[in-house]
Structure 1
Amino acid sequence: MLKQEYLTVESDLTVLTKVQQWFDRFCFQHNFQRYWSENQLYSLKLALTEGFTNAVRHAHEELPLATPIEIEMTLWDDRLEMRIWDRGEPFNPDALPEPLPGTLQEGGYGWFLLRRLADRVIYERCSDGRNCLCIVKEK
């Protein structure tokens, strides 16, 4: 592990800019531009944005705004891992059908997008009762 940082924010979409700025600072401080293409950085930021907004809109839909969402970014030699912890009810994202080209469906597009943006996406229930979304992008 080369570097690891944490951010805790309220479950409120108005802090999305803060989350994105934190991501930008992390990338700038560790000179990601030398190792990651602009498209890769955009994909990572979009994946973080999607994961965070899913936690706010779905996992914490019925919870108070003060309910924390915790985010961790870990830089390794060969990959970046982002983890987002929520306190909502668990669910199985693999049970969501992928949208078929040219069709409309309600829900599921976020998971479809995450799977396309990252090399690995894992969503699991933790022993402490939180859920963890792990997004991994390899160099």
Structure 2
Amino acid sequence: MKNKIYLKVNTDLTALPQVLSWFEQMNQPPILDKQIWWQCQTLLMEGFTNIVEHAHKNLPIETPIEMEAVRLDKYIEIRIWSQGKPFDLQHKLRQTSEFEENEQDRGRGLKIMSAIADKLSYEPTVDNRYCLFISKVIYEGSGEWGVRS
């Protein structure tokens, strides 16, 4: 099974309900483990919020954010493309101690994403953008499927 969806929205946190509604398509057929589905939604929300608040911080609201989600048999992949400045995700994750309380609470969203994603990266693309890549395993096992048919 493979399902692929695409969405483009403005750099605006008020688009978050639209983003989550769009992402609901990835839960068909439903993932049996509700916590896994909640984690997938959390990864998308944190990723989108980080792009709006950090990568696109000084860009016009009309700056597009493009998203793609792909559901395969055992995992969901989320890609969010931004037009922000270079950012070293791995360096930032090493820099921010585990859920530390700092003056601005910076880096907590990245730590949450790092803790629940199976793969997480932020890499430059050939068209001068950056791609936040998130992968989450939705099924592990050797018999029963993690989804209802």
Instruction: Give the TM-score taking structure 2 as reference length.
Output: 0.84
- CA contact 2:10–2:64 (8 Å) conserved in 1: yes
One-letter code aligned to 1:84: I
Q: Aligned equivalents of 1:79 and 1:100: distance in 2?
A: 26
Deviation of residue 26 (structure 1)? 3.1
The match for 1:113 is 112
What are the within-5 Å matches in structure 2 for residues 1-139 of structure 1?
A: 2-27=2-27, 30-33=28-31, 36-96=32-92, 97-100=95-98, 103-105=100-102, 106=104, 107-138=106-137, 139=139
Residues 55-108 of structure 1 show CA distances to partners (whole Å, capped at 9, x for unaligned) of: 00001111000000000001112211000000000110111223246x422421
Q: Aligned equivalents of 1:10 and 1:98: distance in 2?
A: 29
Q: Aligned equivalents of 2:73 and 2:48: distance in 1?
A: 25
- CA contact 2:3–2:26 (8 Å) conserved in 1: no
Q: Aligned equivalents of 1:115 and 1:51: distance in 2?
A: 11
- CA contact 1:99–1:109 (8 Å) conserved in 2: no
Structure 2 residue runs without a partner (length 5+): 140-149
One-letter code aligned to 1:6: Y
Structure 1 vs Structure 2: percent identity of aligned residues?
36
Q: Aligned equivalents of 2:77 and 2:132: distance in 1?
A: 10
Query: Considering only aligned residues, what root-mean-square deviation do their CA atoms show, in Å?
Result: 1.4
Structure 1 residue runs without a partner (length 5+): none
Number of equivalences: 134
